[in-house]
Amino acid sequence: MAADWTHTNDSSGGQAEDKAFFDKPKNVRLVMRGFYFGCAVVVILDIVNLVQHLIGAHELRHAEHPLENLPEFYVLYGFVGVALLVVISKGLRKILMRPEDYYDR
Amino acid sequence: MIGSLPPAAIMILGALLVPALSGRIQKAYILALPILGFLYFVSLGTGEFGQVGIFSYELTLVRIDGLSRIFGYLFHIAAVIGLIFAMRAENSMEHVAALVYAGSAVGAVMAGDLIVLFVFWELLALSSVFLIWVRGTERSYHAGIRYLIVQVGSGVLMLTGILIHYQTTGSLAFDHLGLGTLGTNLIFLAFGIKCAFPFLHNWLIDSYPEATPWGTVFLSAFTTKVAVYALARGFAGTEILVFIGAAMTVFPIFYAVIENDLRRVLSYSMINQIGFMVCGIGIGTELAVNGAVAHAFNDVLFKGLLLMSMGAVLYRTGKVNGSDLGGLYKSMPKTTGLCLIGAASISAFPLFSGFVSKSMVISAAIHEGYGGVWLALLFASAGVVEHAGIKIPFFAFFAHDSGIRCKEAPRSMLIAMTIAAAFCIFNGSFPGAFLYPMLPYAVEYVPYTTAHVVAQLQLLFFAMLAVVWLMSSGRYPPELRSVNLDTDWVYRRLGPRAALAVARVAVFLRTGTVNTVLVGVNSTVTGVRKHLGVTGVMGRTWSTAGSVIWVALLLSFFLILYYTK
């Protein structure tokens, strides 16, 4: 069955084919700029929310949990949460990681 | 007669005819079965059907109500999508196993009492193991055996629980059970094994990634979701589930970061998603149970979509490790796009299905005052973005170019993935059209408020930004060829080693004991022979005269005793 899984590893293909979308640094920069712009927008929305709160106008967000009243709570929680997650997991490798054939030996 | 035939029977009995057919007719027949089953199931409406008397028991084969109906829909849809995806499978035994497996899942969620549930529960285990074994590798064989032991073990626990429950209550009804008696506790444990509770979870991580490209898609759809249904039916509102569920959402995401096999990453991700459902069931309010059930529905489709995209990669390249892949968007652009839809759905981006159902559970946690659990669920949601939203598509289709050039996924696979993707977008963008009316309770939940959308985008964008920052600063852990120790270490390494050690001690003790006993026996035998043997004092033949003297002495002794009294 495995033989049927067609797999052509063509080493000369790299030169023959046109440069793909993400092979051009310009396109990568474009996508990343779009992403950073999105990040900036959601940060600013919380500032708008805070200003509206201070001037007593109708707020964007109705908090269900006291922490949600903290400006940029979700921004901070998402960033710090994932940064910690990855760093801790990387550390866990020291304890948990074994060679690929560990159980086969 | 119509009405006494359970909808599950169409797929299970129909599957037996598959090997007799071949070619296009066989393919058409395979696809027709779940569709026929679905039409028949819809035509039944709600109610109880198929009462059968066995011995003195009255069994109810089919019960369709608000809770089982949506799972009936889900499993038929999943069967159709999975079978389209599996059209390329050459071994028709796989189709037979998949049909029986899907049919068992339908049968289990419609089971009208505990005995019928048990029968389908075991049939799920027996049929699904073939989807692992059919891969034909040494690893898949052993993983299959371990899978079967755990699954059948769950069934045995359940049967024991059912019998004890019947002894104490005289009831076989499968309604709310609740914890507290030995019988229901055992049933709870059996559900927990199939649901992959923490420490009982490793059968899933161990076995699912060892199946064929399509086998894993089937496996991900049925077993755990039957368990979710069973928990929702029997243990809704059981508070310990809130904390079990929260733990399930959190611990697998650490493993998902460092796991190299991308289908194993998705297996950890499954436990994470089931955690949201278990948590919702534990909270037990109408909103929470609705959220759990809706999330089960959506999860089968987006997790199926992600596993199908990885299955297509495995099918075309023979590889599925993050360390071996990269740059496949050039060869498989359609698969890439479909995978990204699955990634957006599981990450709960607004307009995609996960956003609607996951938020129902998270909102319910806040409403009921579970602040700590709410924080855990938010953390887990951000973690999903890391492993399923970014890691899966990034390492397979983008990252560094691995140099692999292959064909786009076959058309049948693309069709299956497209159907799943369509559900992901439709259920996310128009939850009121199909999903809400199917849920067990009336829905008042409004996911699309400005506040909610903004909060979710903030969480997601900055979770992604953290990954981007870690990657660009070189802090992100690279994909490494490795295995990571999990609880299966206990029975795959510690168990065998301990057994070996025990055996060594036993051999030592046995040799010691046997030697001691032998020495003891030897000296006893020598002693016995010395005193009782032919030449021993007690064994000699005495002369008649000597004997008469002894008898005379004895009689004299009695005479003296008699007179002195």
pLDDT, mean of residues B505-534: 87
pLDDT digits (tens, 9 = 90+) for B46-83: 988 888 887 777 888 999 999 999 999 999 999 999 99
Give every CB contact of residue B225 below 8 A, 6+ residues apart in sequence. B71, B74, B75, B105, B296, B299, B300
Q: Does A18 touch chain B (CB under 8 A)?
A: no
User: Mean pLDDT over all residues of chain B?
Assistant: 92
pLDDT recorded at residue A101: 84
pLDDT-based confidence at residue A1 (cuts at 50, 70, 90): very low
Give the CA distances from residue B531 to residues A73, B368, B542, in Å, rounded to whole numbers and listed in that order.
95, 87, 14
Give every CB contact of residue A70 below 8 A, 6+ residues apart in sequence. A76
User: Mean pLDDT over all residues of chain A?
Assistant: 79
- Percentage above 70 pLDDT, chain B: 99
Chain A residue with Cα closest to B256: A89
| Binary contact (B374, A80; C-beta < 8 A) | no
Provide the shortest C-alpha distance from residue B317 to chain A (in Å). 5
Contact B227, B195 (CB under 8 A): yes
Range in B182-196, B369-383, B394-408 with the lowest mean pLDDT: B394-408
- SS3 state of residue B63: strand
Range in B350-354, B393-397, B471-475 with the lowest mean pLDDT: B471-475
* B-chain residues near A95 (CB < 8 A): 485
pLDDT, mean of residues A61-68: 76
Q: Enter the tokens of residue A41.
A: 């927008």
Q: Please give the residue that has the higher pLDDT: either B377 or A70.
A: B377
- Name which of B212, B208, B376, B191 is nearest B303 in CA terms: B208
pLDDT digits (tens, 9 = 90+) for B266-277: 999 999 999 999
pLDDT-based confidence at residue A62 (cuts at 50, 70, 90): low
* A-chain residues near B474 (CB < 8 A): none
* A-chain residues near B403 (CB < 8 A): 9, 11, 13-14
| Binary contact (A5, B379; C-beta < 8 A) | no
Contact B413, B315 (CB under 8 A): yes
pLDDT-based confidence at residue A17 (cuts at 50, 70, 90): low
The phi-psi region of residue B113 (left if phi > 0; otherwise alpha if psi is between -120 and 50; otherwise beta) is: beta
Strand B483-484 and strand A97-98: the pairing is antiparallel
pLDDT recorded at residue A18: 67
Per-residue pLDDT for B482 more than 90? no
Report the run of H or E that residue B557 belongs to, with start and end. Answer: helix B544-564
Range in A2-11, B7-16, B480-489, B501-510 with the lowest mean pLDDT: A2-11
Q: Does A70 touch chain B (CB under 8 A)?
A: no
pLDDT recorded at residue A3: 37
pLDDT recorded at residue B3: 53
pLDDT recorded at residue A61: 64
Contact B69, B54 (CB under 8 A): no
pLDDT recorded at residue B490: 84
pLDDT, mean of residues B454-470: 95
Distance CA B76, CA B84 (A): 12
pLDDT, mean of residues B424-450: 93
For CA atoms B67, B70, B76, B79, give the dihedral sign. Answer: negative
Q: Please give the residue that has the higher pLDDT: either A5 or B20.
A: B20
Q: Please tell me which of the candidates B327, B450, B467 has its beta carbon nearest to residue A82.
A: B467
Distance CA B246, CA B372 (A): 9
In sequence order, which ranges of B236-285 are alpha helices (DSSP H)? 240-258, 262-283
Per-residue pLDDT for B210 more than 50? yes
The phi-psi region of residue B50 (left if phi > 0; otherwise alpha if psi is between -120 and 50; otherwise beta) is: left
Contact A75, A41 (CB under 8 A): no
Q: Please tell me which of the candidates B91, B327, B454 has its beta carbon nearest to residue A42.
A: B454
pLDDT, mean of residues A7-18: 46
Task: Match 């793909």 to its residue by tokens.
Answer: A20
Per-residue pLDDT for B236 more than 70? yes
- SS3 state of residue B349: coil
Range in A85-94, B53-62, B306-315, B415-424 with the lowest mean pLDDT: B53-62
Q: Please give the residue that has the higher pLDDT: either B551 or B424.
A: B424
pLDDT recorded at residue A13: 42
Q: Please tell me which of the candidates B405, B454, B485 has its beta carbon nearest to residue A98.
A: B485
For helices B353-367 and B286-317, the axis angle rounded to 10 degrees is 140
Task: Match 């990252």 to its residue by tokens.
Answer: B399
Range in A35-44, A92-101, B168-177, B335-344 with the lowest mean pLDDT: A92-101
Distance CA B252, CA B488 (A): 14
pLDDT, mean of residues A49-66: 76
| Binary contact (A42, B482; C-beta < 8 A) | no
pLDDT-based confidence at residue A9 (cuts at 50, 70, 90): very low
Per-residue pLDDT for B458 more than 90? yes
pLDDT-based confidence at residue A8 (cuts at 50, 70, 90): very low
ipTM summary value: 0.83
Residue spans of the domains in chain A: they are 20-99
pLDDT digits (tens, 9 = 90+) for B403-413: 889 999 999 99
pLDDT digits (tens, 9 = 90+) for B22-40: 889 999 999 999 999 999 9
pLDDT-based confidence at residue B422 (cuts at 50, 70, 90): very high
Give the CA distances from residue B36 to residues B32, B76, B496, in Å, rounded to whole numbers and listed in that order.
6, 10, 48
| Binary contact (A32, B405; C-beta < 8 A) | no
Q: Please give the residue that has the higher pLDDT: either B450 or B265.
A: B265
- SS3 state of residue B54: strand
Greatest mean pLDDT among A63-67, B299-303, B524-528: B299-303
Range in A23-27, A66-70, B321-325 with the lowest mean pLDDT: A66-70
Residue spans of the domains in chain B: they are 1-224, 236-429+440-478
| Binary contact (A60, B451; C-beta < 8 A) | yes
pLDDT recorded at residue B168: 94
* A-chain residues near B315 (CB < 8 A): 5
pLDDT-based confidence at residue A7 (cuts at 50, 70, 90): very low
pLDDT recorded at residue A14: 44
Give every CB contact of residue B18 below 8 A, 6+ residues apart in sequence. B26, B29, B30, B92, B95, B96, B99
pLDDT recorded at residue A53: 79
pLDDT recorded at residue B27: 94
| Binary contact (A35, B463; C-beta < 8 A) | no
